[in-house]
A and B are shown apart, each in its own frame.
Chain A
Amino acid sequence: MPTPTKTIPSEELLTQVIDTNATGITILDKSMNIIFWNQWMSNASSLAKEDVLHKNLFSVFPEMKNSRIEKAIELSISKGNASFISHTFNKNPFPLYSNGDKNKSIRQLTYIKPVNLKNNERYCFIQINDSTTSVYREEQLRKMAHDAQSLTKLKSGFVSSVSHELRTPLTSIMGALGLLKNGTDKVNPENMKTMLDIAYNNADRLLLLISDLLDMEKIESGKMDFNFSTININELIDLCITQNKGLSDKYKVQFNFNKDDNIPLVFADKDRIIQVLNNLMSNAVKFEPNGGTIEITSSHENNKVHVAVLDHGSGIPDEFKDKIFKAFTQADVSNTKNISGTGLGLAISKTIIEQHHGELNFDCNNKRGTCFYFTLPVNKQ
């Protein structure tokens, strides 16, 4: 039986193995001269072996002088300590790029280790692992966690606002019905009517709130349907003035409509635009001083139809201007008329107008009141 021969890997074999390794490997002598540079290092640095061998590492990469890597190499050569340098804190990694593309820096994990030979010669072994993919994955994970956190915050804020908004009218309804239930015999018909009015008005408010909530939900899930047709905006404004007449009479304000008789037609969802106009008009009624006149103007310019609703109220407080289109935000201003709203109307209106490729915004001079306006693109057909 033949004696098994002991094969010792040749230098050529070892070099090939290290060259084909998927990590960067370089070896320095105790003067920090490069004595080994594998293929991975050549590819990532665009520097061939011949370019770097027997040169000092920091003359090849002067930008890495005084870096953590330099300190770790010194520690390895002078004291024999190994270091691990993660990509996180490393401000000066090796200037290495994926496929030599300068826009694709390689994120690196660097291992620096002393190697002692039997003759007490010391070398410094440096291994670089490409962690670009795992860094990217972790960044994605962090982004997802961040988004999830924001969503949870938003959700809990929404739930607490909705619960509050739903509870308030419900409490009034329960209160009024409770009084009627427990004391019918003592309640005179006039008081009974007042109680029923309270219950009815609050139930009406609940209904409005729920339909607004459903609209919000539709908007957020992208399921709001639009039924587009060619419409004349002046006709819709006239209609809404009529619809809001009861409210304006009740609060002793008037509407004055400055009509653009040549207004072009728009391609829009009639019911949704009515919803927006009603929202802007009822808001204006809320803030217009008694006996005042709300100015409504239609005009057109640059292929856009422009509608403005101007009240002469106290205006919008500065600190509230940024939040006005956010759901459930109502400024705490003197709304002596006590017209309740859901805090969703403007958020819904803005979305509706934007879905029509228009813009809804406001101009506010606190002394002269507030002008809400929206634009809609002219129908080109």
Chain B
Amino acid sequence: MVELSELQQDMLTELFNIGMGNAASALSEMVSEAILLSIPEVSFMEKSELTNLLEADSGGHISGVSQQFHGLILGQALLTFPTDKSLELVRLLLQDTVPLENLTEFEEEALTEIGNIILNAGLSCLADIFEDEITSDLPIFNSGSCSEVIEHSNQTNSAQQTVLYLQVDFNIEKNDIKGYVMYLFDIQSMDKLATSIESYIEKLTA
């Protein structure tokens, strides 16, 4: 497991906040509404811990958007919300006046598009750290129990996985909605990430 020093922690948080700033301005433009995105926290954890954490926060049912990524590192990017929050978010963005009980096809597509923008912004941050390209596949919408969504979006099926975990706060029309962005890596990719963070900081502080 990667233990981040305070400096590393601050640097990653800052970097992802810049990335989310870009995503937020793209989203604001799309919906003609001021949207703020912030990342108050970045941490690493084991995949098993992740399920517990999401379950505790969501009451069990989540909706999410996932994308596979490739390059020097391989893995899965995943954005999740407790299902009721995903409904709230998408309806705020769509300015939906007639909310139906479940996410409709429209809303699933809208959420997929929003997730895609956020996940790509985060991948750009990781690419900056690696100073190399990280390419991504098309986003997929998932919904179900926490473990279902995580497993469904996790094609590599490796039990030994580490998760780079970011809490992302959406602020839209005075509403705060909390979501989670996760990057699931295999062990080798994790090692590469740790080394890259080190050298990125060295370069910055040199």
Query: A residues near B, CB below 8 A?
Result: 68, 71, 75, 79-89, 109, 111, 113-114, 116, 134-135, 138, 141-142, 145-146, 149
CB <8 Å contact, A116 and B113: no
CB <8 Å contact, A142 and B113: no
Q: Is B100 an interface residue (CB 8 A)?
A: yes
Name the A residues within 8 Å of B71 (CB-CB): 80
Interface string of B123-147 (1 = CB under 8 A from A): 1100100000111111100000000
Main SS of chain B's interface residues?
helix
Name the B residues within 8 Å of A75 (CB-CB): 120
Q: Which of A109, A134, A135, A142 has the most CB of B within 10 A?
A: A142
Interface size on B, residues (CB 8 A): 29
Name the B residues within 8 Å of A89 (CB-CB): 30-31, 110, 113
CB <8 Å contact, A88 and B106: yes
A142 closest partner in B (C-beta)? B98
Q: Is B67 an interface residue (CB 8 A)?
A: yes
A112 closest partner in B (C-beta)? B138
Q: Is B105 an interface residue (CB 8 A)?
A: yes
Distance, CA A134 to CA B109, complexed state (A): 12
A88 closest partner in B (C-beta)? B110
B95 to chain A, nearest CB (A): 11
B155 to chain A, nearest CB (A): 15
A-B contact pairs, 19 of them (CB 8 A): A71-B26, A79-B120, A79-B133, A80-B134, A81-B124, A84-B109, A84-B112, A85-B113, A86-B110, A86-B113, A87-B109, A89-B30, A89-B110, A113-B138, A134-B105, A138-B106, A141-B100, A142-B98, A146-B98
Distance, CA A316 to CA B97, complexed state (A): 35
A275 to chain B, nearest CB (A): 39
Given A79-B127, A134-B105, A138-B106, A86 and B112 contact (CB-CB distance below 8 Å): yes
Q: Is B94 an interface residue (CB 8 A)?
A: yes
B100 closest partner in A (C-beta)? A145
Distance, CA A212 to CA B51, complexed state (A): 62
B30 interface neighbour in A68, A79, A141, Cβ under 8 Å: A68
Distance, CA A180 to CA B100, complexed state (A): 55
CB <8 Å contact, B113 and A82: no
Distance, CA A138 to CA B133, complexed state (A): 39
Distance, CA A292 to CA B101, complexed state (A): 59
CB <8 Å contact, A82 and B136: yes
CB <8 Å contact, A82 and B67: yes
Distance, CA A288 to CA B150, complexed state (A): 76
Given A79-B127, A84-B112, A138-B105, A145 and B98 contact (CB-CB distance below 8 Å): yes
Name the A residues within 8 Å of B31 (CB-CB): 89
B107 closest partner in A (C-beta)? A88
Query: B residues near A, CB below 8 A?
Result: 26, 30-31, 67, 71, 94, 97-98, 100, 104-106, 109-110, 112-113, 116-117, 120, 123-124, 127, 133-139
B131 to chain A, nearest CB (A): 13
Name the B residues within 8 Å of A79 (CB-CB): 120, 124, 127, 133, 135
Distance, CA A230 to CA B123, complexed state (A): 83
B206 to chain A, nearest CB (A): 26
CB <8 Å contact, A88 and B123: no
Given A141-B100, A145-B98, A149-B98, A88 and B109 contact (CB-CB distance below 8 Å): yes
CB <8 Å contact, B113 and A84: yes
B104 interface neighbour in A82, A83, A138, Cβ under 8 Å: A138
Q: Which 10 A-B pairs have the closest CB atoms?
A: A80-B135, A86-B109, A89-B30, A81-B120, A86-B113, A82-B138, A81-B136, A146-B98, A88-B110, A145-B98
A81-B136, A89-B31, A114-B135 known, 19 other contacts, Cβ within 8 Å: A79-B124, A79-B133, A80-B136, A81-B120, A81-B135, A83-B117, A84-B109, A84-B112, A84-B138, A84-B139, A86-B110, A86-B113, A88-B94, A88-B106, A89-B110, A138-B104, A138-B105, A141-B104, A146-B98
Name the B residues within 8 Å of A80 (CB-CB): 71, 133-136
CB <8 Å contact, B135 and A116: yes
Name the B residues within 8 Å of A71 (CB-CB): 26
B115 closest partner in A (C-beta)? A84
Name the B residues within 8 Å of A116 (CB-CB): 135
Distance, CA A138 to CA B124, complexed state (A): 35
CB <8 Å contact, B98 and A83: no
A155 to chain B, nearest CB (A): 17
Distance, CA A35 to CA B30, complexed state (A): 29
CB <8 Å contact, B116 and A83: yes
Distance, CA A43 to CA B192, complexed state (A): 48
Distance, CA A111 to CA B138, complexed state (A): 7
Distance, CA A134 to CA B104, complexed state (A): 11
Name the A residues within 8 Å of B134 (CB-CB): 80
Name the B residues within 8 Å of A142 (CB-CB): 98, 100
Name the B residues within 8 Å of A84 (CB-CB): 109, 112-113, 116, 138-139
Name the A residues within 8 Å of B100 (CB-CB): 141-142, 145
CB <8 Å contact, B137 and A82: yes
B101 closest partner in A (C-beta)? A145
Name the B residues within 8 Å of A138 (CB-CB): 104-106
Name the B residues within 8 Å of A109 (CB-CB): 109
B134 closest partner in A (C-beta)? A80
Name the A residues within 8 Å of B104 (CB-CB): 138, 141
A241 to chain B, nearest CB (A): 51
